[in-house]
Chains A and B, each alone.
Chain A
């Protein structure tokens, strides 16, 4: 099928319009058509989380959506996090807590964490670990990432995540 679709979506607050081949994945549209290469392509089957973006307020795999399905949607990618004043608070915490090494998983980690933290009123450590298991990192061993997300949850919720201890 070679048909194209005219689509309009809001990307990081700005309206963008264009033509997307019907078969094109959202992640390929973001990277190859809109030149927003911050969102990464990893496993291409929804497992690794590198391509995670926020669609209409919810984290979603952009490798499991077609660009045409984002017509009319509000999409947030890692490019939308920092503003003229500098890095997003979560990005600063990732830096402070050494939550990245090679950086490949980081955009997906950030978008996953933002949805996880901002869609709940409180989180404990277990919930953070389970929630962040949606994205894979092959460098850090995760502790830095979990610590950064815990610190972000404390900022957003106004209280530190309860530590349940033990193995999760």
Chain B
């Protein structure tokens, strides 16, 4: 159907971002293709090294999933920061990722954990890595005839810690800055560090410089401070009515530091 209607149709997932735009007549697609009648797109399945989540899985189902809580706790924690309960009742993971709001939580987790997006069209199926998926504000690598159908979430390795922290003026608002962190130890040294920020640019951003610093220098206070400074230096946010660019940049550093400390404290806490 997307192929048939080309640009005149929009897929409707949970509708928690699209319907407000429709209500204000800011978006006027000729047709909406409601995906809510596709229960086969809302499963959370254990696939060994990753969890496969159907694109129409509600945020609330993700929040309540024991599998997600135990094997992708960063995704669980990020979900609790999304808006409010009645929004999470309807909002979906596929809708949030495909919408690619730079301040939304899921794109940052997708970049940090290196989600793989399974995308389908009448031309066939392809997989897009999170790093190649988010292109600009509300813009992804999805073609107009393509639909995001499934998301592959890598499981957390043993001996890891994680944290999603964000700051917003009121609980449930979009973050002024939010950071997703997951770090993994091997013996006593860091084997892996994954960091990404939302709210600080035109897309969520992977914080590779900060990752390199803690991989090299560990997770002592000095290294965390250096990583936080590198994170702040890596982003180039816009000023808007919620916060100035300089404030968002500073918050990126503060959130990076808080996320790393919280993640470090959680290492080994998973059964």
Contact = CB atoms under 8 A, between A and B. Distances in A.
Interface string B31-74: 10010100000000000000000000000100000000000000
Contact of B20 (A45, A59, A66, A130): A45
A1 B31 CA distance: 8
Interface size on A, as a range, is 20 to 34
B89 A58 contact: yes
B4 to A, nearest CB: 16
A55 B170 CA distance: 26
Of residues B20, B34, B60, which shows the largest number of chain A Cβ atoms within 10 Å of its Cβ?
B20
Contact of A134 (B24, B30, B31, B84): B84
A68 B84 CA distance: 24
Interface residues of B, number: 20
Given A55-B89, A115-B85, A69 B34 contact: yes
A26 B235 CA distance: 41
B85 A46 contact: no
Contacts of A49: 84, 86
Of residues A59, A63, A64, A115, which shows the largest number of chain B Cβ atoms within 10 Å of its Cβ?
A64
Nearest to A61: B86
Interface in B167-198: 170-172
A1 B30 contact: yes
B233 interface: no
Contacts of B24: 44-45
Given A25-B23, A133-B171, A133-B172, A61 B31 contact: no
Contact of A65 (B31, B90, B171): B90
Contact of A64 (B15, B85, B172): B15
A131 B31 CA distance: 34
B33 to A, nearest CB: 12
A60 B170 CA distance: 20
Given A1-B30, A58-B89, A115-B85, A133 B170 contact: yes
B208 interface: no
A59 B60 CA distance: 11
B20 A46 contact: yes
A63 B23 contact: yes
Interface of A: 1, 25, 44-46, 49, 52, 55, 58-61, 63-66, 68-69, 112, 115-116, 130-131, 133-134
29 contacts: A1-B30, A25-B19, A44-B23, A45-B19, A46-B16, A49-B86, A55-B89, A58-B89, A58-B90, A59-B85, A59-B89, A60-B86, A60-B90, A63-B19, A64-B16, A64-B20, A66-B15, A68-B34, A112-B86, A115-B85, A116-B85, A130-B171, A131-B84, A131-B85, A133-B84, A133-B171, A133-B172, A134-B84, A134-B87
